[in-house]
Amino acid sequence: MSDLLVSGGRVLRPDLTIERADVLIDQDSGTIQAVGDEARSAAPADELDAGGDLVIPGLVNAHTHVAMTLLRGYADDKPLDAWLQEDIWPVEAEFTPEDVRAGAELGIVEMIKSGTTAFSDMYFHVPEIAAAVEDAGVRAVLGHTAVTVAKDDGGARADMQESLDVALELDGAADGRITTTFQPHSLTTVGEEYLREFVPKAREEGLPIHFHANETEDEVDPLVEEHDERPLEYADGLDLLGPDTFVAHGVHVDESEIELLAETGTGVVHCPASNMKLASGMAPVQDMLDAGVRVGLGTDGAASNNDLDMFDEMRDAAMLGKLAAEDASAVDAASVVEMATQGSADLLGLDSGRIEAGANADLAVVDLDAPHLTPEHDLVSHLAYAARGSDVRHTICDGQVLLRDREVQVFDEDAVRKRASERARELIDRAQ
């Protein structure tokens, strides 16, 4: 048996207490074998020093568009609709499969370096993203995002069919590290007739569903006008909600919709940085938590964030949650740490996000030896409010070491950055 010992650290346990403990990992099964006294292995095949560090579950980014790293800083300071239509979609039309691969590798390197071990993605040229995930050793929930507006009927149906086909084909790829979702882009960018035709097919195949919902007011008003019901009531009528569904954003949800989310077990991925940057609004996160809605955390794409650092996202979630509730006790440190770990993992259907025997061996080791993490009154507070992605020292996924002493083990980081820069430059040239 091949095993790995993470030794000498303090460990964040599932109940958010901190315990001095070693963690023993079975690399063959990719799971945690023991935490604490039972972890003292006679002679582990490999050892990672976590002395003075905090060992946490690998963070889970529950909503992103990873290849959009190529568009980081390309178009800023606009609202969602204008940003997508005027800037993003014209350039995305020029993306080649190689561009998506280069952008995905860049995004994955950024995530590995900041302690993220799993992500959920919405994009196109998905086999390229799957190949990058396979090479990198991370986990991902992938899918092809279908849009039907501004397409003829043939084009629209083909895009919906591709979303089904890609989800069926890639499920279980990369030794099971890849799973999939069926992905209508949003309730306003996919026509009702296509949802009526394809959602039942996705349900029949048992595919989980992921889409953008209630992100901006512009997305809510037309649906209310046309159907005389709230967007999530409309979605429920189309069998889009349920425990196998998680929606991105959920910013403009009213009380009845929060109830509907809780009743149906539908998950919500909160994306605070994107919501602030595009001025989409403030999601009522504390109200959703109080109502028993399952909430995870995501960065959204790098062009609306502009990074993929989940530590940033935790802090943004806490800050924005307080502002939205006008209550400093809302969305507290423990809530955001839970959202970024067990909360997101639960939405993605992963047995990750907790350091416990039997769970996936997906971990990050945070170096606490820094002025901004001193003194150590409360390490959960530090994770939420003071730590940064660059404090991550080691990252482990599926029992394999992806980052060792801040060195990415799975890719040549400089080559990935160089390729992404070149591809991004050529892409913008083509689009202009």
Ligand X SMILES: N[C@@H](CCSC[C@H]1O[C@@H](n2cnc3c(=O)[nH]cnc32)[C@H](O)[C@@H]1O)C(=O)O
Contact residues for ligand X, defined by CB under 6 A = 65, 80, 84, 88-89, 92, 122-124, 145, 147, 159, 185, 212, 215, 274, 300-301, 304
Q: How far is the CB of 291 from ligand X (least distance, A)?
A: 24
Has 212 been labeled as part of a binding site? yes
Cβ atoms of residues 274 and 305 within 8 Å: yes
CB nearer to Zn ion: pick between 3 and 300: 300
Angle subtended at Cα 30 by Cα 26 and Cα 35, rounded to the nearest 5 degrees: 50
Cβ atoms of residues 214 and 250 within 8 Å: yes
CB nearer to ligand X: pick between 69 and 286: 69
Cβ neighbours, 10 Å, residue 318: 25
Has 426 been labeled as part of a binding site? no
Tokens read off for 326: 């006008």
d(CA 194, CA 309) in angstroms, rounded, equals 35
d(CA 383, CA 115) in angstroms, rounded, equals 12
CB nearer to ligand X: pick between 34 and 187: 187
Asked whether position 215 contacts Zn ion by CB under 5 A, the answer is no
Q: Where are the alpha helices (DSSP H) in 93-152?
A: 97-113, 126-136
Has 171 been labeled as part of a binding site? no
Q: Name 363's bridge partners.
A: 57, 396
89 binds, among ligand X, Zn ion, none (CB under 5 to 8 A by kind): ligand X
CB nearer to Zn ion: pick between 22 and 300: 300
SS3 297: strand
SS3 142: strand
E strands, 190-308, where?
Answer: 209-213, 245-249, 267-270, 294-297
CB nearer to Zn ion: pick between 244 and 300: 300
Has 63 been labeled as part of a binding site? yes
Has 38 been labeled as part of a binding site? no
Q: How far is the CB of 72 from Zn ion (least distance, A)?
A: 14
Which positions from 272 through 331 interact with Zn ion, judged by CB under 5 A? 300
Q: How far is the CB of 274 from Zn ion (least distance, A)?
A: 7
Q: How far is the CB of 112 from ligand X (least distance, A)?
A: 22
Tokens read off for 302: 């790098």
Has 65 been labeled as part of a binding site? yes
The binding site for Zn(2+) consists of 63, 65, 212, 300
The binding site for substrate consists of 92, 185, 215, 300
